[in-house]
Amino acid sequence: MRMEYELFNRETTAFVYGFQVNAIQRMLDFDYICLRNTPSIAAIINPNQSGTHKAFWGAEEILLPMYRTIAEASADHSEVEVMVNFASHRSAFDTTMEALKQESIHTVAVIAEGVPERQARIMATTARKLGKTVIGPATVGGLVAGAFRIGNTAGTIENIVASRLYRPGCVGFVSKSGGMLNEAFNIISRNSNGIFEGIAVGGDRYPGSTMLDHILRFEANPKIALIACLGELGGEDEYRIVEALKKGRIRKPLVAWVTGTCASVLPASVQFGHAGAKADTQRETAFSKNEALREAGAHVPTSFDDYGEMIRQVYQELMDKGLAKDVEEPEVPTIPVDYSKALASGMIRRPTTFICTISDDRGEELLYANKTISEVIEEGLGIGGAIGLLWFKKQLPDYAARFIELVLQITADHGPAVSGAHNAIVASCAGKDLISSLASGLLTIGPRFGGAIDDAAREFKRAYETDLSPEEFVVEMKRKGINIPGIGHRIKSVKNPDVRVQILVDYARRNFATTELLDYAQQVERLTTAKKGNLILNVDGCIGVLFLDLMSSCHLFSKEEIDQVVRLGYLNGLFALGRTIGLIGHILDQKRLGARLYRHPTEDITYMLPSRDGI
């Protein structure tokens, strides 16, 4: 049950408006160390997304519901009385007004700075009319020790523990400034049995609730024995407290200080950090206000430095009269350190899941191997250069990078009839999207289509390095019953040569220092084409042997690196990459044509079913 003079207690639950992940976690961490039975956040309101949010409750995880609107959240959670409003200064007014309309919501904390003064006044009068409370705008909020915390009030968990805010003391504190609130928690915890409740009303000229509003609640609350406040120069708020003191509405001891006494030594009327912190008249100066408070009976120190000491004295008097007593400290559960923080601070370590040696996006600029992408562009490394960096971790000489680009160009397409294009076209016509159709085409790459480059490189290399003569190689493969990878084509032949192969060979002869493996492969080709005209060195075979010639003649690769390239199957990647260009073209071509393939013509298929008697 919440008493009239309370805004929050250990049962209070709130909506957090705005998906403020850190503030949400801070509220829950506070609840946890206060040993609350249930979280103080009932739901999050996020106009962009509904669903759930996973957060920590100690070391466990809990799910908080997330709604798009205040109305929806309120309909499902009629027990919620508070909204912590993180809406921006543009939306703070509308959302606060809507929250005030909900019957169950009695307090709205408005965090945003820069809410227009006209809107702030409407929020304040609306709340007053409805008997509700607005804290803020331009505030961190406040808290009731051991019970409920608004958003980020009191800062880190270490600060909260140091100021013993996990359990109630007997001091009710109110300030304008949120920063001073944290400072006061600290001072009060060292000079008394600690805070019962602390509120920052916000530094604007028209706060939703005034310092006096909260002081009067503290006056009514039997658990509060000492009231403390920190005002600031500018405005009239402190004179309302003076009036209340004079009329006897504040009977509990009040320790007060108005900051900004230094303004008098500055040349002209100075605007301090808050919108309201500016004294336009003598009456609004910190000096005048402190005097008025002192005269009205508040305990006013001579400077802010003595504020803590003044609290200590007043608290001691209350103790002497038996109106306050020290609190037995409960055991405080520790909040586990967040994994990311612990890792960043070097407290813990863990093995990474995998290693990357080719690129790095953690710095200011993306790196390909050891080069920033700006350098890649400025130095004109092109696609071939990028492949050199990302596949081989080397800056290849220009002729080598251009060779890679040549390979990509000549393998980009070979018409619609080949396996890859055929599959991609069928998938596209069957209504599959671009990526699915592309995958369907790429999946056909293998030993009989485009994927013979590595096998060809490996076999020719093995034969050459083991000193097999071309004749011996052909005989050996025939004996093993293996067709030499990279030899033979269904269409191309001696009489119908493959121009792509000629282009590659010409380029290599003009640019490579040596072409030993190509020479060897061509000797093999002479033998196989003597058998049958179509047993030419095909595109795959030609790329395979030339890449090995490139690597060994450019002197950038060790023998081990070349072996690794062949062993790990780098080179089919060249065909896959090049052919992707053409496959995408075919897929889009079909889509442009609106082609829809529902069935293959049955004439394309020979039907040979088993006979009915099982043969």
Active site residues: 274
Told to check if 485 binds ligand ACO by CB under 6 A, we report yes
CA 72 to chain centre: 27
Q: Which residues pair with 134 in a beta bridge?
A: 108
The alpha-carbon radius of gyration of the chain (Å, integer) is 40
Helix (H) or strand (E) holding 606: none
3-state secondary structure of 546: helix
Told to check if 478 binds ligand ACO by CB under 6 A, we report yes
Dihedral through CA 53, CA 57, CA 60, CA 63, nearest 10? Answer: -20
Minimum Å distance from CB 437 to ligand ACO? 20
Minimum Å distance from CB 385 to ligand ACO? 25
Minimum Å distance from CB 573 to ligand LMR? 15
Q: Which is nearer to ligand ACO, 213 or 413 (CB)?
A: 413
Total residues contacting ligand ACO (rule CB under 6 A)? 22
Q: Which stretch binds ligand ACO (CB under 6 A): 102-110, 236-244, 447-455, 549-557?
A: 447-455
Which residues, numbered 447-506, are part of the site for ligand LMR (CB under 6 A)? 449-450, 490-491
Q: Which is nearer to ligand ACO, 39 or 569 (CB)?
A: 569
User: Where are the extended beta strands (E) located within 486-558?
Assistant: none
* Nearest Cα to Cα of residue 347 among 338, 355, 356: 338
Minimum Å distance from CB 457 to ligand ACO? 12
User: Residue 254 phi/psi, 5° resolution?
Assistant: -120, 120
Q: Which is nearer to ligand ACO, 423 or 538 (CB)?
A: 538
Told to check if 350 binds ligand LMR by CB under 6 A, we report no
Burial class (CB in 10 A: 0-12, 13-18, 19+), 410: buried
Q: Which residues contact 465 (CB under 8 A, 6 or more apart)?
A: none
Distance between CA atoms of residues 87 and 15, nearest Å? 12
Interface residue with ligand ACO, options 141, 385, 441, 486 (CB under 6 A): 486
Q: Which stretch binds ligand ACO (CB under 6 A): 119-127, 253-261, 301-309, 526-534?
A: 526-534
Minimum Å distance from CB 554 to ligand ACO? 25
Question: Which residue lies nearest ligand LMR, judged by its C-beta?
Answer: 414
Burial class (CB in 10 A: 0-12, 13-18, 19+), 542: buried
Residue with structure tokens 């070349």?
562
Told to check if 137 binds ligand ACO by CB under 6 A, we report no
Told to check if 543 binds ligand ACO by CB under 6 A, we report no
Q: Which stretch binds ligand ACO (CB under 6 A): 115-123, 182-190, 251-259, 528-536?
A: 528-536
Total residues contacting ligand LMR (rule CB under 6 A)? 7
Q: How far, CA to CA in Å, does 481 sit from each of 237, 247, 475, 476? A: 99, 111, 10, 9
**CB under 5 to 8 A by kind: which of ligand LMR, ligand ACO, none does 487 bind?**
ligand ACO
Q: Which amino acid is at 21?
A: V
Q: Which is nearer to ligand ACO, 448 or 591 (CB)?
A: 448
CA 490 to chain centre: 53
Distance between CA atoms of residues 316 and 191, nearest Å? 9
Minimum Å distance from CB 570 to ligand LMR? 19
Q: Which is nearer to ligand ACO, 297 or 447 (CB)?
A: 447
Binding mask 536-575 for ligand LMR (x = CB under 6 A): ---x------------------------------------
Which residues, numbered 183-222, are part of the site for ligand ACO (CB under 6 A)? none
Q: Are 545 and 505 in contact (CB under 8 A)?
A: no
Told to check if 452 binds ligand ACO by CB under 6 A, we report yes
Minimum Å distance from CB 415 to ligand LMR? 8
**CB under 5 to 8 A by kind: which of ligand ACO, ligand LMR, none does 437 bind?**
none
Interface residue with ligand LMR, options 176, 414, 458, 461 (CB under 6 A): 414
Q: Which is nearer to ligand ACO, 31 or 540 (CB)?
A: 540
Dihedral through CA 108, CA 113, CA 118, CA 121, nearest 10? Answer: 30
Q: Which amino acid is at 480?
A: K
* Nearest Cα to Cα of residue 152 among 84, 202, 231, 211: 84
Minimum Å distance from CB 547 to ligand LMR? 16
* Nearest Cα to Cα of residue 217 among 144, 165, 153: 144
Binding mask 226-265 for ligand ACO (x = CB under 6 A): ----------------------------------------
Helix (H) or strand (E) holding 173: strand 171-175
Q: Is-cis flag, bond preceding 137, omega within 30? A: yes
Q: Which residues contact 400 (CB under 8 A, 6 or more apart)?
A: 384, 388, 550, 554
Minimum Å distance from CB 480 to ligand ACO? 11
Q: Which is nearer to ligand ACO, 141 or 486 (CB)?
A: 486
Distance between CA atoms of residues 473 and 536, nearest Å? 15
User: Residue 388 phi/psi, 5° resolution?
Assistant: -55, -45
Q: Which is nearer to ligand ACO, 230 or 535 (CB)?
A: 535
Q: Which is nearer to ligand ACO, 249 or 478 (CB)?
A: 478
Interacting residue ranges for ligand LMR, rule: CB under 6 A: 414, 418, 449-450, 490-491, 539
Interacting residue ranges for ligand ACO, rule: CB under 6 A: 448-450, 452, 477-478, 483-490, 528, 531-532, 534-535, 538-540
